[in-house]
Amino acid sequence: MRQTKRKKETLKILKEKQENNSINDAIDILKNCPKVKFDPTIEISISLGVDPKKSDQQVRGTVSLPHGTGKKITLVVIAKGDKEKEATEAGADYVGCDELVEKIKNGWTDFNALIATPDMMREVGKLGKVLGPRGLMPSPKAGTVTQDVAKAVKEVKAGKIEFKVNKNGIINNVIGKLSFDTENLKENFNVLINAVNKSKPASSKGQFIRSVFLSSTMGPGLKIDLQSLLAI
């Protein structure tokens, strides 16, 4: 297969690097790869020593990234009465109740997060087939089913994210944009790693974090040296 000029330049950079990288080295490599015409997203993939099929080995939680993700968050709040006003004043993009439920039921999913008040969950629960596969279903554990909608809206807009292990035992999350300062990316990375580490189920034995990879949109995936994480 014919390689593009950008691919050749990337491979040349990787050839001179080691297999396992510190987080600083990984960020440096990604920043030095050939540029693209947009601001790439930086993603982290964490492989865990758990069996997601077992209910007592689910890993899920929320964490506020100190520097956000760099993504524009389109937020929906499903609530009634005074809670609608609270959500609007806090900065939610779409606020409503029955009309929004119906709109989503018909396939509308042009948003990144959804918050609902407890009294609306009977209706929101009917949207499982639409919201579930996209990871948009609100839950009390994630803080997206709450009476304090104003606080929840502000947290999500400020960079609060949810992490959840998938069926393959891997957590995939965005930690920023390539244009972020190295220290900001590193701080987001460390905060997420610590949050995941603290979420280790009691029933999980042996090594919990098995591997960590950092990558950018259209960029290489770089393996992080687990020993370097011990200093976090």
d(CA 5, CA 26): 22
Domain annotation covers residue 131? yes
- 143, amino acid identity: G
Q: What is the pLDDT of residue 19?
A: 72
Q: What's the whole-model pTM score?
A: 0.80
Instruction: Name the domain count of the chain.
Output: 2
Q: What is the pLDDT of residue 11?
A: 64
As a whole number of angstroms, the distance between CA 70 and CA 93 comes to 17
Whether residue 98 is found in the same domain as residue 50 = no
Residue 71 confidence (pLDDT): 87
Q: Could you say which residues of the chain have pLDDT below 50?
A: 1
Containing domain of residue 136, as a range?
75-157
> How far lies 177's CA from each of 47, 71, 97, 189, 223, in Å?
22, 8, 34, 12, 18
Domain boundary among 107, 132, 157: 157
| 24 and 89 fall within a common domain | no
- Give residue 117's pLDDT: 97
pLDDT score at 98: 93
Domain boundary residue among 127, 157, 187? Answer: 157
CATH code (residue 90): 3.40.50.790
- pLDDT tens digit sequence for 217-231: 988 889 999 987 765
Amino acid identity of 175? I
pLDDT value of position 2: 52
Tell me, what CATH number does 29's domain have? 3.30.190.20
